[in-house]
Structures are given as C-alpha cells and as structure tokens.
Chain A
Amino acid sequence: MIAAAGQAILHATVAALVIEALVRLWRVEDPGERLALRALAIGAPIVLTTAYLAAAPWRSAPWFTDRWALFAGANWNHVHVSGVGFATAAGLALSAAGTALYLRDAVPFLADRFVRAVPDDGLPEGHPAWARVARALASVPDAVGPRPSTVTVLDLEAPVLLCTGVDRTAIVVSTGTIARLDDEALRAALAHEVAHLAARDPLTGWWLMAARTLQFFNPVVQIVARQAIQDIERRADLAVAARGQGAPLAEAVHRLSSVADVHSDLALPSERGHLGDRLLASAHRRAVDARCQLLLENHRPQVQPHRAGRLLLTGAAVAVLLFLVV
C-alpha cells in the first residue's frame, strides 16, 4: 500500500514537472489549455498508475527495474534514515503533507456546501438588496453567459459570493458583499460568477475535488489542483475583462480579499494567525495582487496553434515516462 502510494506521488511529480516545463516552453497562456494540461497531471496517478500496477505488475520485477526502468523508487530504500528506507520515509512524510493540504481545502469546500454557516433562506425579491443584485445581474452582458436558475441574497454581514449547480445553477450573494461593492464592481463580480456557470465550472470543481479525494495523500496532486483552480479563475476573469469590466472586477477582488471570513472565489485569506499562516497569506496576497494587475492591464493570453497536438504529445510523454518510473 505504501509502495503504491509512493509510486502515485512519484508519478504525479514526474507528470507535473514535465507538463510545467512544456507549458513554459510552448508558451501556453490560454487558461483553458493550461487547465486541460494540468488535468493530465492530476489524472495520471489515478488512471495511469492504477492501470500500470494492475496490468503490468512485472514492472517491479528486478529484470525490469534493472534494465528498463528510468527510475526505481525502491533503489532509494538502500539509503536508510533512522533505520527506515529513504523511499519509505519520504513516502510517509509526503503522504502526511498531502493529507494536510487536502484537509485544508476540503473542509471549507464541503462546509460551504453541506454545513453552510449561513442562513438557508434568502431575502424576499422585493427587498432593496435583492433588487440591487437583480439590476446588476440584468446588466451583465449576455455574451458572458446565461443567467443562473436562481439567485439567493443572504442577510449576512460576512461577504459571500459564489455560484453552484450544474443543471440548476445558482448564485449566492450576501448583503455583506453588496455593501462592500459599488454598482460597477458588483456587476463585474456577478459577471465573473456567470462566466463560471457558463463554463460549467461548478462541475469542474466537483471533478477536481473528487480527484483530490481519491489522491488525498498526494501533495503534488493537491498543489496542481490549486493551480488548476487558478486557471479556472483566470478563465472567468478573462471572460469579464473581455467585456471591458476588468477594472471593476479588480476592485471587487481587492475589496473582498481584504475581508476576514469571506466565502467567495474572488477572495483569498487575509493575513492573521500563526507564522505559517502569515507566510501562506502573504503568498496569497501576492497572488491576489497579480490577479488584479492582470485584470487592470487587460492582458489577453496569446493562443498558440496546434492545441490538439500539444495535448496529444503531452499525454504520450507522460504515459511513456510514467511506465518507466517504478
């Protein structure tokens, strides 16, 4: 079991590094294509590692590891750390790190959906806050995406702004969010959520969480999945920025990200807590600033030709290399 988990972590590492190198060298800027490539890195340890372990168990035999394998993790068990093989020790430590990363994101994700700490009932349609959201939503260009099936406005001081649902789509927004945004920023923020719904990102979010749950011990999958989420956000940002609403969206991101206890993909944690949290928050702050900067610059990614060819070549490279890594 530990060996299989170790191989999954090793495979995810190789796949992620190869894909990251190709993304940079091929200058892949389109977040949709980046997302597709990162899906390969996330899916590889689930599909390929499992398939190889089941269909080709002889890969771990000495004749294969000695003559054909590019890398055999078991070789690192010749080096001992406190009486334990290095590969085994590294596998255990990385599994613990992966589980911690998974729980850090999974608990809030599931809490937002199943044990939401906000009221279930929204304000009535006649309420001024609801009317303001409805006006803002009506002014979102149709080109961004279809309107959600339902809109729920929560009477809550904490900022909430998120979209859910695949077939029955919904946008949930709180009075705390509405109070912090002017009309332009609110419209841009709602347009961002509409863009998520148009791209069926809630479904992608569930797929990502399912993959992360299957690979809860795999820190590389957890990190690449976070990069994939950034790609999803960037894609929705671009859809809004393309309508000329990059600056108000940047304003909304900036305002919501600076508030504690926020429930929105537009925001990231504020700086507080222990040193580790502050370091992470600092990194998050830089990520928010970079996101706002891209929105303000209205930077449009350049799309390179031969997208299908790139996906095919990347898949082939990952499949071959992982077969030779045991």
Chain B
Amino acid sequence: MPPESAPPVPPAPAPAGQRIGLGRLVLTWLLVVAASAVALRLADALPRAALNLPRGVTRAADVAELERASGRRMPMPAYFPDTIAWPPADARLHTSGSAAIWCRQREGRDTALIVATAPRGARGVADQVLPASVELQREQAVRGNRALAVSRVRDADGAVWQQVQWQSAAQIVLVRYRGTLDELLKIAGSVND
C-alpha cells in the first residue's frame, strides 16, 4: 500500500498509439451523425413502405374525413357507372393539399376510378395521391364551359386509363377512369364542381 500522504494519482493519458486525434475525432463524429440520419430516415420510411404510402401522404377513413382534412369539398360525379363500387376503397391526402378517392371495380379488386383535387393555384394534382403512371397522350378540349386537358395514361400494370383535368372556381379537379373515353366524359360531365 502506498504511503498515506501520497499525492492523488493523476488519470492515465492514453498511450500515443491509442490516442484519438482531432481529425479522427471529427471524422468519427461525422460518421455517427450521418449513420444516425440514415437510420432515422429508414425507420421513418418503414411504415410507409409497409402500407405502400408515399412520403407526405396520409390516409383518411372516408370522404367526410378527407374533406375535413383538406378543407375543400370533394366533387362527386352524379353519374356513377354500375361497375364501380362505393364507398371508395382509399382516400388519400398529400401535404401539398392534393386529395383523392380511389374506387374499385364492383367485380374484382382493381382500382377503376379516381377523383382527385388540388388547391386552386397549385401546379396540379400531386403525383403522390395517384397511382404511378406514364402519360401517353394529352390534348386540350372544351366541353360546355370547361377547358379540359384530356389525356391517356398507362399504369404500372400496363393498363391504359383515360383522364380529364380542369380548373373550377375553387380547385383543380382530375378524374381518371379505366374504361372508355366516352364513359369518362359522361362521369366528368356529371361532376358538380
């Protein structure tokens, strides 16, 4: 045992070979911060990936909740083909304000009709609330007092959809239908916007 009057033992500095210099200190810090950021991003994406929801999109339980969340009325077509099931299978809202309802075919599980809106002044309906698609063709048309953008799009499964989009007094309205253009124009024409 050392003499009792011995001075306090100083902390042992790390040997030169095991000392962590300033450069390595900062590099390690950067790596940990970057790894933490990546891990957090991945953890954030997990539930969206599991539910197939893009970033910024939330689901609403029904049309009423969608209207409350978006702050806008959802335009409903008065003409609704018998082949389309009601209520909608999905109601989605994007942080940009875009909202959409997805309706399935009465027979089968495929989505066949989408009605979407975006706030007036927006560039258009956010892609995140619509199924992934590629535009094949686009034309301008006038029907009644509406200036329409009529287009054909192909979805990820290769199916071709007809789509019309116009600007009402309150919002941008988009209707996408997996069927004939005539049927789509009948649906769109019956929308009270």
Contact = CB atoms under 8 A, between A and B. Distances in A.
Nearest to B18: A302
Interface string A73-105: 001101100000010000000000000000000
A166 interface: no
A321 B18 contact: no
Nearest to A244: B1
B3 to A, nearest CB: 9
A302 B18 CA distance: 9
Contact of B20 (A71, A244, A304): A304
Interface in A287-322: 300-306, 309-310, 313-314, 317, 320-321
Contacts, number: 118
Contacts of B33: 18, 317, 320-321
B20 A27 contact: yes
B55 interface: yes
Interface in A25-74: 25-27, 30, 62-63, 65-66, 69-72
Given A303-B14, A305-B19, A75 B4 contact: no
Nearest to A30: B11
A300 B10 CA distance: 10
B44 A75 contact: yes
Interface string B40-52: 1101101110110
A321 B53 contact: no
A17 interface: yes
A110 to B, nearest CB: 34
B58 to A, nearest CB: 7
Given A242-B9, A317-B29, A69 B44 contact: yes
Contact of B2 (A66, A139, A244, A301): A244
A22 B32 contact: yes
Given A139-B4, A300-B11, A306-B22, A70 B28 contact: no
B81 to A, nearest CB: 31
A243 B44 contact: no
B11 A303 contact: yes
B54 to A, nearest CB: 10
B168 interface: no
Contacts of A301: 11-12
Nearest to A317: B33
Q: Which of B9, B13, B26, B51 has the most C-beta atoms of chain A within 10 angstroms of its own C-beta?
A: B9
A309 B22 CA distance: 8
Contacts of A313: 25-26, 29
Nearest to A309: B25
B37 interface: yes
Nearest to A29: B14
A135 B164 CA distance: 96
Nearest to B22: A306
A70 B37 contact: yes
A22 B30 CA distance: 10
Contact of B12 (A18, A143, A303): A303
B53 to A, nearest CB: 6
A125 interface: no
A18 B41 CA distance: 15
A179 interface: no
B56 interface: yes
B5 interface: yes
A141 interface: yes
Given A78-B59, A244-B2, A309-B22, A22 B36 contact: no
A78 B53 contact: yes
Nearest to A143: B8
A157 interface: no
B7 interface: yes
Contacts of A310: 25
A310 B20 CA distance: 11
A172 interface: no
A178 interface: no
B41 A71 contact: yes
Q: Which of A26, A30, A75 has the most C-beta atoms of chain B within 10 angstroms of its own C-beta?
A: A75
A75 B95 contact: no
Contacts of A317: 29, 32-33, 36
A245 interface: yes
6 contacts: A18-B33, A79-B51, A139-B4, A143-B8, A243-B1, A321-B33
Given A75-B48, A305-B20, A317-B36, 5 more contacts: A65-B95, A78-B53, A303-B11, A304-B14, A320-B33
**3 shortest A-B CB distances, which residue pairs?**
A62-B95, A242-B9, A302-B14
Interface of A: 14, 17-18, 21-22, 25-27, 30, 62-63, 65-66, 69-72, 75-76, 78-79, 86, 139, 141-143, 239, 242-245, 300-306, 309-310, 313-314, 317, 320-321, 324-325
